[in-house]
Amino acid sequence: MNLISILKNWLIIDTSLERLIALAVVIIVLYLIGVFIKKIIKKISRKQIRADNSIYAAFLTAIANSVSVLLVTLGFALGLSIVQFPAAYSEIAATTKEIIMVLGIGFFIYQLAEIPSIWFEKLIEKNEHSVNKMFVPVIKKSIRLAVAILAIIQIIQIISNKPITAIIAGLGIGSLAIALAAQDTLKHFIGSFVIAGDKPFEIGDRVVVDGHDGPVESIGLRSTGIRTLDGHLVTIPNGELANRTIQNIGKRPYIKRLANVTLTYDTSPEKIQEGIDIIKDLLDNHEGMKPDLPPRVYFNNLNSDSLNILVLYWYHPPDFWKYMDFSEKINFEIVKQFNAAGIDFAFPTQTVYVAGDKKRPLDFGLQEHIEKEIKH
């Protein structure tokens, strides 16, 4: 008599409830063994990551995450096979065993979905222009979604005892109603591939979309998450994002600054030229300058209340905080050297002439002076 026969004779449901409890204990023991094995495999996986064997490490991680579930599944399947149930419950037990097996194996395959995405990412690293990195999370989530759908179809087949082709045909009949109900979801799903194909941004790039400014934090099958500079997480559906104007700040090669230095109208031409020369000297071969983008300084406009000097320069590489430090230093030097040279900055003013006395200008805002002139 083999071991299975002995266990079947021992585990008859109507002989002793304690024997079923013993089977539950065995399942718990298998789960604990799985936890122990998981720790060992995780340790090996970390060594493989340090050795830059990311694909093998992902395979070990999938096993580690699934080993407890697989052992428990095996315990349930074995227990439901050897325990003799009354005839009224035997078919339910057999169906339950098959469903548990599908769930256990499906969970393991679900964990393995990490491997194709890692392989794809390594392929991109070797040839970065071939495919956009945004496909990586989309591929992983698509594989996992497919595994979940197939598992559900298999469970339906087990419960209904119908061929898979008949189930798929039945799903096809109801697919029209489902498509109408989920057309927005389908649009966003397709939008994720449109975004990945157009390559407007990658994870980590700082973008501006509809006034939301921040790095791209996640790209899902339905939506994309942007972490704004205020710390808020903004989620934008991919179907809408594919039709929006996206400003990718993370891809800019430099930071451009356009500043206007305004002087008073009583500044002489010589002092205007001196101011231009001061700014040019400050920006000559400046920090972050690209040889093909030298700074530009021009006396470019006669404003209504000032003489305007246009200052234009480009900072490279586009490190925002280094750019801010440099700009602050330039501002301080302009103020310091202009004051030393006796060049006055202009500020918005307005002059009012009272009717009948156009020879005497009055500063707008000096209410008492205006009223006095009006009386005259």
pLDDT digits (tens, 9 = 90+) for 113-132: 878 777 777 776 665 544 45
Is the pLDDT at 67 greater than 70, yes or no?
A: yes
Based on the number of CB atoms within 10 Å of its own CB, is 282 exposed (0-12), middle (13-18) or buried (19 or more)?
Answer: middle
Q: Is residue 359 within 8 Å of residue 347, measured between CB atoms?
A: no
How does pLDDT run across 202-242, given as a tens digit for each residue?
888 899 998 899 999 888 777 889 999 899 999 998 888 88
140 three-class SS: helix
Give the pLDDT of residue 167. 58
The pLDDT tens digits of the residues spanning 252-268 come to 999 999 999 999 999 99
- Give the per-residue pLDDT at 376: 46
pLDDT for 20 equals 67
Confidence of residue 302 (pLDDT cuts 50, 70, 90): very high
pLDDT of residue 18: 61
The pLDDT of residue 12: 46
Q: Where are the domains of the chain?
A: 3-192, 198-250, 255-341, 348-376
**Statement: residue 109 has pLDDT above 90:** no
Task: Write down the pLDDT at residue 15.
Answer: 43
Highest mean pLDDT among 104-108, 201-205, 290-294: 290-294
**What integer pLDDT is reported at residue 54 of this predicted model?**
77
Q: What local confidence, expressed as pLDDT, does residue 340 receive? A: 94
Average pLDDT of the residues in 143-159: 82
Asked if the model's pLDDT at residue 375 lies above 50, the reply is no
pLDDT band at 357 (very low <50, low <70, confident <90, very high): low
Pick from 84, 72, 67: which is nearest to 4 by CA? 84
Pairing mode, strands 255-263 and 247-248: unpaired
User: How confident is the model over 6-53, as pLDDT tens digits?
Assistant: 445 544 444 446 656 767 777 788 888 888 888 888 888 888 777 777
pLDDT at 283 > cutoff 90: yes
| Higher-pLDDT residue of 353, 284 | 284
pLDDT at 355: 64
pLDDT average, residue stretch 91-112: 81
- The model's pLDDT over 187-208, given as tens digits with 9 standing for 90+, comes to 777 777 787 777 788 888 899 9
> What would the CATH number be for the domain defined by 255-341?
3.30.70.100
Give me the sheet containing 212-219, strands edge to edge: 233-237, 223-227, 212-219, 206-209, 247-248
Average pLDDT score over the chain: 78
In sequence order, the β-bridge partners of residue 225 are: 218, 235
* Residue 372 reports pLDDT greater than 60: no
Q: Is the pLDDT of residue 278 over 90?
A: yes
Class of domain 198-250: mainly beta
Contact 307, 265 (CB under 8 A): yes
Q: Which pLDDT value is given to residue 345? A: 94
Output the pLDDT for position 14. Answer: 45
Whether residue 339 has pLDDT greater than 90: yes
What pTM was computed for the model? 0.52
Contact at 8 Å (CB) between 360 and 373? yes
pLDDT attached to residue 116: 78
Highest-pLDDT range among 34-43, 56-65, 92-101, 280-289: 280-289
**Each residue's pLDDT tens digit, 70-92:** 888 887 777 666 666 666 666 77
Dihedral of alpha carbons 169, 170, 176, 181, sign = negative
Euclidean distance between CA atoms 337 and 343, whole angstroms: 9
Q: What is the pLDDT of residue 192?
A: 75
Q: b/e for 255-268, b at 16 or more Cβ within 10 A? A: beeeeebbbeeebe
